[in-house]
Structure 1
């Protein structure tokens, strides 16, 4: 099975050379000196490699089973979850007053990457809990926070989000789950939810379900939806656990991947629930959790690709196959290693340049979240809201593509389960679908986010790119970065102008190009990140700091991305400007 090594050096380079976190004005960042972050990330990497990675194949092979109403997780999961809980890893960025460590969201993201790369399915249990905790912190009463947050922070209890039903996925206005008010202020929740990750399991003593349902008087569509806290076990006034609530897991789904994550069909049969947030304003409360989950899924996209890339690079160095066209590179052996061949090198460079660029994009996005939450910075909040669909959609589309590229390096052995690389492909695939399928992310970006707040966030983003390019005027070393970035940014602006000119009179013209725009924006974002990384690497080399070979490899990888990947922006723009006619030409009955 593939091993895993946390990319601590790369993370440290981003934190301290690119983002310069300890110099930032964000509260809490001053404590993130190099020795502290290295200690945290090194230990997280050890936990990921030694505890979680060995269980990845176990979870894939065994899956989860439903027995007498209880879901049994794969062998070793319970012990590993208890170890993670005891080590405080579930509480890194939670508020200190609720038992957390109060670290910035950025550190949660960095640690979370190592856990996802090592075992994506396992990490789902604590990842969803983190989101449920955030929703209760943002919208709960003081009593709800006191009851649920400390236990969610510690993962003594875990959390879920319940949106989807058999007849409605994206269109939540079709929801049938009902909430009937009771005399004591609670609600009786009745309905069925599907695709509920961690809906039932044996890792924690209680599960806190956040359930969307329609309460009387809310009207039709999403405006009538409210959000409820529905615990598996009711909680007594003194905080102890009481009777079993009227809910159960009806089935555990058999899925293409993430077999170790219990995906359940949940039945609510008059279960006791408690309103979270305002009545009939459930979507607002749930979006707190959904937006966080989308950022986490975007991280999953590149984190799984990182694990797959590590496996492919190792295989390419070791596997002997053919001779280099320029002459034998391993003359004492029967053949040269795969890595000498240009097409294999191309594949590995595409994987490497995506993963490292996406990591930088995600870390930068986490700093924007910290800036918005800890400083109340509206500009940062606007930019990260704009880019959330890009982080989720682009990174999971590309993460899956890169996992497939890694599998391809293995040839026929990549299709054999014994090598383990096919699991990365199967696991990565779900990230393109859940927390809002990527087509929906693209529609959200084009249909809502571009015009949000009068277009201020997208203009602020373009200003960031323009400032980055202008900062390197006259620096010949940076031209391979700034010139392609300038061109790509203009192409993104041209696409946005096309949407503005056509959206009102022919809305299909905008929506037909939405996925292309999502990818165009993603490439620009990674181009911006590679420009910043190249600048930081050159500066470190000039000052004689760091590992010269690492820094030179960083620059070479960035030049590859700018020369070979960023030109995709021109293709996406060309497609966008064809409008809706080529897409909508066939009548529905012709398919």
Structure 2
């Protein structure tokens, strides 16, 4: 009963009119990324996600994954394998991958929109190819040429998938505690032994082989994060010429029973002397792993966006159809026994919150993805540096804010349904359950907040923030005389100044007491996210005005007005909380926390 319709027109408006990515593609020499080609890709992706993936979303959740304990083999729900084969046959696995390894090398920005569709249609299914993209980037940037030939080509082709094996039972985000061992053996190979948990797609029946990228320690490795290396450990052994051999002792010991994403196999992986190859430099594994992780963090942000979009679509359709009570200002459907839910202000509050966060998040995610393209394709060192700084700043915002907003918005959408939202057949409770994990994996919201404030802002002296504020100032300065934008430009310019001032205040407070950084981090993250979306909503109104489409312009203006009046004021409470410092958080003695 829960449906999905890919918002292709809205995506095209976001890509071409608001973000104006096509101009950047032309500057980067991405000749294959013409508007006609991109629009065709989006249309075909819409057909695939709507007709193939969306129909098995709820059934996949009910059925879940199954483990054959004797063999360690995982079976995915009915229809998942067939959907993956259609995905491969359609060429989707190599959409943004290098042409040298069989890919189409379309911009990552286009891939982001395709991924949003996949996640809206069937997020658990989308987890299987998700980490293949990260593995592709890690091998492309850090692997030896023979490794790229042997492992990258079949991943791009879709015959193999990839995983990222970091977490262990005793250590989550603190990788310095990692214990998995790597012993050198003959012919440049290594024997990998240890247990990894929470491994997405650690085993499944979609492909003939799975390439695990595993963090482990060499015998002489120094302690802590400086002694971690990264290894390629395939499910079936792979020779240097790319030929597959016997089963590797890299086996799924169990699959987790989870709150959501039941159709995504979350595995405990046992490596018992499994054959592997070192990727990159010894004891420098985190450098290569963060290539995967940063890619995955943007991807998880897109998962949050995808869930908001689907939740909104179903909730708005229900609100337009469901008759419930009369409007406070008098009957709006006097010919009916009651008015539809859409007439009630609080229903509109929830729906407009979902819609403005979804559309604003799409603009922001596309901006981040565009920096990936600039970083990869630009011949200008200056442009690459600017993109790298801006991307580093935006990544934790995209990952954390979009996923936290997905929790908020799937809740709102479920609430629109009332009691029916709690019933499984409507599918709203599944969206809410699936949203919850997005705030946790690939780094929790707290970790993203510390990364944004501690590293990307204070440690790097606000390099990325300065880039973003520069865009805001440029936009506001260029439209000071535009009376049509006055209601957005003036408050946006003021918020930019407050953002800069607040950052300076936090830096000073952190020098006085390091705990002040941790106390401010999450509030600063959300303050940043809300101001960033305000910038993009102002740009969306300008783009709609420029389009000459009066209906579009009126709609975007109304949505932006809601965002500025009802959502942006959340920054006031975040700023107020930041200014109180860490005292009230750290005052209570540890013993007092005992229940």
Do they fold alike, i.e. is TM over 0.5? yes
Matched, 1:128 2:135: no
In structure 2, the partner of 1:112 is 115
Q: Distance in 2 between matches of 1:30 and 1:228?
A: 36
Q: Aligned-pair distance for 1:410?
A: 0.4
Report which stretch shifted further, 446-455 or 477-486.
446-455
Q: Deviation per CA, 1:80-134, whole angstroms, max 9, x where unpaired?
A: 0000011001111101110000101011101111011000000011111111111
Conservation of the 8 A alpha-carbon contact between 1:492 and 1:569: no
Q: Distance in 1 between matches of 2:572 and 2:461?
A: 26
Q: Distance in 1 between matches of 2:29 and 2:112?
A: 15
Conservation of the 8 A alpha-carbon contact between 1:297 and 1:431: yes
Q: Deviation per CA, 1:66-86, whole angstroms, max 9, x where unpaired?
A: 013210000000000000011
Matched, 1:576 2:578: yes
Question: What TM-score, normalized by structure 1, do the two folds share?
Answer: 0.97
Secondary structure of the residue that 1:32 maps to in structure 2?
A: coil
Unaligned runs of 5+ in 1: none
Number of residue pairs the alignment of both structures matches:
586
Identify the match of residue 590 of structure 1 among 589, 592, 595. 592
Q: Aligned-pair distance for 1:487?
A: 2.2
Aligned counterparts, 1:285-434, within 5 A: 285-375=288-378, 376=381, 377-434=384-441
Conservation of the 8 A alpha-carbon contact between 2:322 and 2:341: yes
Aligned counterparts, 1:267-278, within 5 A: 267-278=270-281
In structure 2, the partner of 1:251 is 254
In structure 2, the partner of 1:554 is 556
Conservation of the 8 A alpha-carbon contact between 1:124 and 1:198: yes
Aligned counterparts, 1:158-307, within 5 A: 158-307=161-310
Conservation of the 8 A alpha-carbon contact between 1:322 and 1:336: yes
Q: Distance in 1 between matches of 2:35 and 2:212?
A: 38
Q: Aligned-pair distance for 1:28?
A: 4.4
Q: Deviation per CA, 1:381-433, whole angstroms, max 9, x where unpaired?
A: 10110111111011111111011100000001001111111110000110000
Secondary structure of the residue that 1:504 maps to in structure 2?
A: helix
Q: Deviation per CA, 1:187-210, whole angstroms, max 9, x where unpaired?
A: 110000000000000000000000
Secondary structure of the residue that 1:119 maps to in structure 2?
A: helix
Aligned counterparts, 1:475-486, within 5 A: 475-486=482-493
In structure 2, the partner of 1:10 is 10
In structure 1, the partner of 2:530 is 523
Q: Aligned-pair distance for 1:330?
A: 1.4
Secondary structure of the residue that 2:186 maps to in structure 1?
A: coil
Q: Distance in 2 between matches of 1:514 and 1:195?
A: 26
Q: Aligned-pair distance for 1:220?
A: 0.6
In structure 1, the partner of 2:83 is 80
Q: Deviation per CA, 1:472-496, whole angstroms, max 9, x where unpaired?
A: 1111211121122122222221221
Q: Aligned-pair distance for 1:179?
A: 0.6
Q: Aligned-pair distance for 1:237?
A: 4.4
Q: Aligned-pair distance for 1:44?
A: 0.5
Matched, 1:567 2:574: no
Conservation of the 8 A alpha-carbon contact between 2:456 and 2:463: no
Report which stretch shifted further, 13-22 or 366-375.
13-22
Conservation of the 8 A alpha-carbon contact between 2:193 and 2:271: yes
Q: Distance in 1 between matches of 2:176 and 2:261?
A: 29
Q: Distance in 1 between matches of 2:228 and 2:286?
A: 7
Secondary structure of the residue that 2:168 maps to in structure 1?
A: coil
In structure 1, the partner of 2:48 is 47
Q: Aligned-pair distance for 1:29?
A: 4.4
Q: Distance in 2 between matches of 1:469 and 1:199?
A: 48
Report which stretch shifted further, 458-467 or 422-431.
458-467
Unaligned runs of 5+ in 2: none
Q: Distance in 1 between matches of 2:479 and 2:31?
A: 28
Instruction: Quote the RMSD (CA, aligned, Å).
Output: 1.2
Q: Distance in 1 between matches of 2:241 and 2:345?
A: 66
Q: Deviation per CA, 1:160-206, whole angstroms, max 9, x where unpaired?
A: 00000010001111111011111321111000000000000000000
Q: Distance in 1 between matches of 2:553 and 2:472?
A: 23
Q: Distance in 1 between matches of 2:321 and 2:34?
A: 37
Q: Aligned-pair distance for 1:457?
A: 2.2
Q: 1:141/1:472 Cα in 2 relative to 1: closer, same or farther (>3 Å)?
A: same
Matched, 1:512 2:513: no
Q: 1:369/1:26 Cα in 2 relative to 1: closer, same or farther (>3 Å)?
A: farther
